[in-house]
Amino acid sequence: MGPATESTAVTVDSTKSTVASMGPATESIATTVSLTTKSTETTIVPATESTATTVGPTMQSTATTMGPTTESTVTTMGTVVMSTTTTTDSTTTVSSTTPSECSQSELLKDLPTTHTTDDFEETPTSAAVITVLGYALLSVLGWLRDFLRNIGIEKKTTAQDPNPKDFVPLYQSYECFYTRNLYTRIRDVFNQPIASVAGATVQVMERLSDDYNWTFKFSGKKLPSINLGSYNYLGFAENSGPCSEQAIKSIEKYGVTTGSTRHELGTQQYMKDLESLMADYLNVEDCITFGMGFATNALNIPALAGKGDLILSDKLNHTSLILGARLSGAVIRTFNHNDVKDLEIQLRKAIIHGQTRTCRPWKKILIIVEGVYSMEGSFCNLPEIIALKKKYKAYLYVDEAHSIGAIGSRGRGVVDYWNVNPNDIDIHMGTFTKSFGSAGGYIAGKKFLIDHIRIYTHSGCYSTSMSAPVVYQIISALNIIMGRDGTNDGQKRIQQLACNVRYFRRQLVDMGFIVYGNDNSPVVPVMIFMPAKIAAVNREMLKRGCAVVTVGFPATLLTESRVRFCLSAGHTKDMLDHALQAMDDVGYLVSLRYSKRNHPRRWNELNRADYDKEYF
């Protein structure tokens, strides 16, 4: 699965012979950059076609070596321009043979011109105003209730700080205010427990509250629901099948824990086998794995950047990336979400002005982006980011937690989707919790980089290594995806997920909902905006047999609350139709059809035969 062919023209040249230090360890003195009439075209085509990419102009420079303690080579950039042409071999996609699956060519059919590939329809003014007023009203009521609690009219149900009054409070006042007066009102729709495998369907445990969500009691009922909230992209979250069988056998041989870290007695042969297989899958030199996806970011970025370094981070990056960047001690600057122009501005400023106060050149510049953004469903503009990375001699860290296995004709993430060279990315990161139905994460890239991480990573030094059943689940899933099990089941799963995504997104858009993200993204956010509707949508969908995730402030912007669907290859057409019918009913009940691009229509008004013919 890949994007439709598009052409990007970039024109940048130097008007004078300028000696400027453009590298991780370069001094910036005077740089003149201006636009010229010469244009450079970069053509991007899907991985299923023969691709020819011409990138220019590029500046002749010396090679640099990455490492947290390694000084980079000073690079002098002049007006010498050379054109580089890179051609990648065409890749053949295994076509589906059953009517319930679609071929690669069907996935590339254009959507209506009103719906772009990476879509962010603006928040309607009326919805934004009502949302802000809603939060203001809730805040006023919250202050009133706090006043009543303080004078003893209303009972205090919150936990009390045991410290004496003269001590500084342990809790931040606004966070506590938000939790007890806004969050608690709708707490029943968060942290919902389940009692089954988190597969295509799930059993949600019903909870009841007698004190307005301060405490809960289980009713004993289990509500069978279509699972539209779990990250089960390829449907490997199963308690039967080849993956589960291999995991069970591994327990009989190795047990359930290693009881040690990788730096002590916690390294087993199956871990090395997984790392070798993952490096082969990603087409890179080496790979290292960790037991927790969140820690893969949070505890390894400090091994890649430190004092004197600059991290340029997308504003909507995941919390694990933000935490890792903060722990590193490097200076952090953000750029607008998926805005390549703003990223280039930040790169130029960093190179020209250098470090704050001293104006010394940065030791290195590290760009951090996500492949698929978990709350937006958008794809990073990888080809243009790579072009900037090469132009300004920065390093690139790509988090493919939500894209690896789920995106691209071979399931190899946004690298596969955009058909770029894996070696153009310095640090590949991903998790095994989404597409592989397991746990943990990985970092992959050049061998010298992975060797460096093996020595300096906090996650490898201080955390217990991955258990055997977790690793064998991943190995089995990888073998299926790569076709090494002797079947085409992996390719079928990838194609089925692609069909489900396009089918589901297309109908939501045609019904008049505001849907964020890329048309090929398995993360499907539907905007609901108002805080009161967060609970209403979740409760009503659960009544109709659909378990969904609703998200609001502070996980999103104040005016951008949403319901987030996560689609799976395990979802059948009947399941998707049931969810669409439920969303149609709920959308009508609580007025969610905000889109100005598409005339709102009920689900039964759509010509579903056309969708069936196109996608199934």
Does pLDDT of 38 surpass 90?
no
Measured distance CA(431)–CA(97) in Å, rounded? 30
Q: Which one, of 259, 163, 133, 60, lies nearest residue 532 by Cα?
A: 133
**Across 511-523, average pLDDT:** 95
Domain boundary among 469, 487, 505: 487
Does pLDDT of 92 surpass 50?
no
Domain boundary among 452, 487, 522: 487
CATH number at residue 277: 3.40.640.10
One domain, residues 520 and 407? no
Tokens of 571: 């979802």
One domain, residues 435 and 495? no
As beta bridge partners, residue 84 has 55
DSSP, collapsed to helix, strand or coil, labels residue 314 as strand
One domain, residues 433 and 500? no
**Across 129-154, average pLDDT:** 89
Looking at residue 508, its pLDDT comes to 95
Does pLDDT of 511 surpass 90?
yes
One domain, residues 229 and 240? no
One domain, residues 376 and 421? yes
For residue 541, which phi and psi values (nearest 5 degrees)?
-65, -40
Tokens of 307: 């004092």
Looking at residue 616, its pLDDT comes to 59
**Across 297-320, average pLDDT:** 96
Q: Which one, of 495, 493, 477, lies nearest residue 409 by Cα?
A: 495
Domain boundary among 441, 458, 487: 487
Cis peptide before 554 (omega within 30 of 0): yes
Does pLDDT of 72 surpass 80?
no
Domain that holds residue 197: 97-233+491-616
One domain, residues 480 and 498? no
Looking at residue 536, its pLDDT comes to 96
Q: Which residues contact 248 (CB under 8 A, 6 or more apart)?
A: 469
One domain, residues 198 and 247? no
One domain, residues 113 and 151? yes
Does pLDDT of 35 surpass 50?
no
The 10s digit of each residue's pLDDT in 422-455 is 999 999 999 999 999 999 999 999 999 999 999 9
Q: How many domains does the chain have?
A: 2
**Across 250-262, average pLDDT:** 93
Q: Do residues 565 and 521 make contact, with C-beta atoms less than 8 angstroms apart?
A: no
One domain, residues 439 and 319? yes
Looking at residue 402, its pLDDT comes to 96
Tokens of 300: 């390894």
Cis peptide before 57 (omega within 30 of 0): yes
CATH number at residue 520: 3.90.1150.10
Tokens of 598: 């598409």
The DSSP symbol for 214 reads S
The 10s digit of each residue's pLDDT in 548-603 is 999 988 888 888 999 999 999 999 999 999 999 999 999 999 999 999 888 888 87
Pairing of strands 201-208, 217-227: antiparallel
One domain, residues 86 and 115? no
Average pLDDT, the chain: 82
Does pLDDT of 259 surpass 60?
yes
Tokens of 124: 């309607």
| Amino acid type, 343 | L
176 confidence band (pLDDT: 50, 70, 90): confident
Pairing of strands 395-399, 427-431: parallel
One domain, residues 480 and 504? no
Q: E strands along 361-421, which residues?
A: 365-370, 395-399
164 confidence band (pLDDT: 50, 70, 90): low
122 confidence band (pLDDT: 50, 70, 90): confident
Does pLDDT of 466 surpass 90?
yes
One domain, residues 266 and 383? yes
Measured distance CA(209)–CA(454) in Å, rounded? 49
Dihedral class, residue 587 (left if φ above 0, else alpha if ψ from -120 to 50, else beta): alpha
Q: Which residues contact 206 (CB under 8 A, 6 or more apart)?
A: 218, 219, 220, 221, 222, 223
As beta bridge partners, residue 296 has none
**Across 338-349, average pLDDT:** 96
Looking at residue 613, its pLDDT comes to 67
